[in-house]
A and B are shown apart, each in its own frame.
Chain A
Amino acid sequence: MGETALGAPVLEMKGITKRFPGVLANDGVDFTLLKGEIHALLGENGAGKSTLMKILYGLYMADAGSIRVEGKDVEIREPNDALRLGIGMVHQHFMLIPQFTVAENLVLGAEPTTGGVFLDMKAAIKKVKQVSEHYGLAIDPTARIMDISVGMQQRVEILKALLRGAEILVLDEPTAVLTPQEVAELFTIMRNLRERGKSIVFISHKLKEVTEISDRVTVVRRGRVVGSVQTSTTTVDALAGLMVGRAVELVVEKGPSNPGDDVLVLQDVYALDQRRLPAVKGVSLTVRGGEILGIAGVDGNGQNELVEVITGMRRATSGKVLLKGTDITNWDPRRLSGKGVVHIPADRHRHGLVLDFTVAENMVLQTYYKPPFTRGTSLNWDAIRHEARRMIEEYDVRTPSEDTRAGSLSGGNQQKVIVARELSRSPELVVAAQPTRGLDVGAIEFVHSRLVKARDEGKAVLLVSLELDEIMALADRIAVMYEGVIVGIIDRDEATEEQLGLMMAGAAGRGGR
């Protein structure tokens, strides 16, 4: 292994086809990886990138196609085959056992032994130290996985592959879980590995990262390869176009707002957080019909708690919440929902969906008890399915059917299910918390356009986002929250990123009270 010259193909996948019930995940995909390159595999969620790599790693069997490693035809039936061929994979969901130590995780499956039976922990720790020093990946072999940071855990995953002699390293969406600093560290590690002759497949849907780190890019859309280019000869816009199949608008198109009456009014609202410490400390603001009010701020400054107070998931300890003049302070979620408050929650798995329910069931979570979905005492499945199909169509949810388990959809499509359900309930007030977190370009654009559409229909939209870009693109007015207080509200047209940045850091505005 490793005799292949730099720049020669180490891996050739030809005509890979993989069908799942209702979905053609890979459709005749060709992919070539050269020795010593970082090759980005770019595509939207559900485009088939991960499927292709899982076939390479022996987690799935392809229905058709061939794989050549270092010029030899190979058959990969299980991860062990891939490992033997020098293919290592860092999965999106870490394949680490939280209760085990770093060293235990690293040697699992290829453990050093005494007498062929007993686990030789000393040898394991020594081996881990050797490899981690060789590649400049510092790690404490005796720490438990559950006690170390996500960035460190990823490092363990990379080491795991290297320890098994991986020459080809597949990183599946490695930056999704990292902070910007950790991303920078990861890129340094990747460049280091490239210098040592490793070939790296970098799966991502983030254009900026792909153009920053990769040598070549292969773009996948709906299971097919739509282009394979040198990174240096392309642009973010061109890649984005390839990825979604049309030119994307990275800027949201929207006309001037046309604000009407006050819809949501908060008067001096206070609330506690999980630890029963003050989190919201006297927030007053107004959202009018036909406008988007964006709340900007660094995570953990009371935005979540504020959203929960408005949507009935947390008690306000004092102050008032008014909806079109009605006092709705501390109403429960169902009453609020009946009153026209809809909520796109920040954590879609905990608060947005029942993952084990079908798409159709999820789509009627707040309305199942009303006609036409309920007839007498029983559910009217025909009506529920019919409505679900209509929403799937209107909101372009990519799902095999309305009876598919919500948990099996990609993140973007899960979010579309939520957006479809919430926005089709004729809302007065839309509370959208982090509505595009973890979504790809196409889905982000979709969610944004729907929020703008709701605004244009005269609804009040309260948008909470940690991404300043998103706030700047969508909001008509921007409130900045810092340590539980609104430090200022400014019109979008008058706002600059610098000024907002200062307010978010607590350096400007009224300060604490």
Chain B
Amino acid sequence: MTFDAQTIKYLVIDILASTIPLATPLILAAVGGVFSDRSGVVNIGIEGMILIGSFTGVLTSYYTRNPWLGFLMAGLSGCLTAWFHALASIKYKANQTVSGVAVNIMATALTGFLLKAIFDRAGQTERVVKLARWTIPVIKDIPIVGEIIGSGPPPVYIAFIVVALAHIVMFKTVLGLRIRACGEHPEAADTAGVNVALIRYGCVMMSGFLAGLAGGTLSLGELSLFKEGMSAGKGYIALAAVIFGRWTPVGAMWASLLFALADAIQLIAQNWGFTLIPQEFMLMFPYVVTMAALAGIIGRSTGPAASGKPYVRRGV
């Protein structure tokens, strides 16, 4: 293989065009994570919510042949799962890490069980109707840019809209101010008349909804079926993106894109038969990038002060 200008151009376009869809579930889940964390609840359960979402999406599309309804149900199922986490961590003041891990274990077990019970298959479901690709009129005709984002699964575009909306909600609205207050100093918010529990419930369930959509993106946007364990750590990488993105929607988006870029490089290297580095090491690449990114900012980036701590009105 020779690396002339043309080859490099195709290579770059190929990598970037793969990056965007790979980043989409991360962006959705990470923006959700931003909401949850900013309100003061750590949501490790995102991983499980993605898994539940991807299964529910396929299940719905299987019975209704309506992938859009499936995508919506993916979000709602994530939201419902998040409600359990919210109940445990807000009402019952449980340890949020433990509760989140419980959600993840439950999600793995539940989807595995239902896969067997409903589809009577192991490993993966049969194919269902997936979301039809969107082609964006004007953009698709722009050279290079058109090849990268001119067309793609609908969740790609939805994710970027979600980022914009989340940014506005978080930093321009009254609701955003209150969410941030709950995550930084819930007692201050409480004494100012903000309903801390309500805000936290809302944010955790919002994060579940977005994680569910991330799951739907995997199973109905990219593929057209559910595979056991198909979330494959994306929830955890999304949490890393929350931190690396300094708890802002836009930052989380860029972090997701960076991690997805690493993934894309690894994939493309395989596709193009790049063998200089053994494939096993290339597979590690996205995770190494994630770790390096986090290691680089640890200590310099501080999250919401009250995140992870249940809020209890002070005693005696």
Q: Footprint of B on A, CB under 8 Å?
A: 20, 23, 25, 46, 51, 57, 59-60, 78-80, 83, 89, 91, 93-100, 104-105, 108-111, 113, 117-119, 160, 408
Q: A110 contacts B193, CB within 8 Å?
A: yes
Q: B175 contacts A108, CB within 8 Å?
A: no
Q: Could you mark each residue 166-201 of chain B with 1 if its beta carbon is under 8 Å from any beta carbon of chain A, else 0?
A: 000000111111101100110111111110000000
Q: A109 contacts B194, CB within 8 Å?
A: yes
Q: A108 contacts B316, CB within 8 Å?
A: no
Q: B174 contacts A117, CB within 8 Å?
A: yes
26 of the cross-chain contacts (CB-CB < 8 Å) are A23-B316, A46-B316, A51-B316, A59-B191, A59-B314, A78-B193, A79-B190, A79-B191, A79-B192, A79-B193, A93-B187, A95-B185, A95-B187, A95-B192, A96-B185, A97-B180, A97-B185, A97-B188, A97-B189, A99-B305, A100-B177, A100-B181, A108-B194, A110-B192, A111-B177, A113-B174
A-B complex: 7 closest residue pairs judged by Cβ atoms:
A109-B192, A95-B188, A109-B193, A80-B193, A111-B174, A108-B192, A97-B185
Q: Could you mark each residue 276-316 of chain B with 1 if its beta carbon is under 8 Å from any beta carbon of chain A, else 0?
A: 00000000000000000000000000000100000001111
A98 vs B180: C-alpha distance in the bound complex, in angstroms? 12
A46 vs B194: C-alpha distance in the bound complex, in angstroms? 28
Minimum C-beta distance from A404 to chain B (A): 10
Residues of B within 8 A of A93 (CB): 187
Known: A100-B181, A118-B173, A119-B172. A108 touches B313 (CB 8 A): no
Smallest CB-CB separation from B314: which chain A residue? A59
Q: Which B126-159 residues have C-beta < 8 A from chain A?
A: none
A348 vs B194: C-alpha distance in the bound complex, in angstroms? 33
Most buried by B among A93, A110, A117: A117
Minimum C-beta distance from A355 to chain B (A): 13
Q: Footprint of A on B, CB under 8 Å?
A: 172-178, 180-181, 184-185, 187-194, 305, 313-316
A108 vs B180: C-alpha distance in the bound complex, in angstroms? 11
A79 vs B181: C-alpha distance in the bound complex, in angstroms? 16
Residues of B within 8 A of A98 (CB): 184-185, 305
Contact partner, B184, options A46, A97, A109, A118, Cβ 8 Å = A97
Q: B316 contacts A25, CB within 8 Å?
A: yes
Q: A119 contacts B177, CB within 8 Å?
A: yes
Residues of B within 8 A of A160 (CB): 192
Minimum C-beta distance from B38 to chain A (A): 11
Smallest CB-CB separation from A50: which chain B residue? B316
Q: A100 contacts B174, CB within 8 Å?
A: no
Contact partner, B177, options A83, A104, A408, Cβ 8 Å = A104
Known: A95-B188, A117-B175, A118-B174. A108 touches B315 (CB 8 A): no
Minimum C-beta distance from B194 to chain A (A): 5
Smallest CB-CB separation from B316: which chain A residue? A20
Q: A100 contacts B184, CB within 8 Å?
A: yes
Contact partner, B313, options A60, A83, A89, A119, Cβ 8 Å = A60
Residues of A within 8 A of B188 (CB): 94-97, 105, 108
Residues of A within 8 A of B190 (CB): 79
A117 vs B316: C-alpha distance in the bound complex, in angstroms? 37
Smallest CB-CB separation from A59: which chain B residue? B313
A118 vs B167: C-alpha distance in the bound complex, in angstroms? 12
Residues of B within 8 A of A94 (CB): 188
Smallest CB-CB separation from A60: which chain B residue? B313
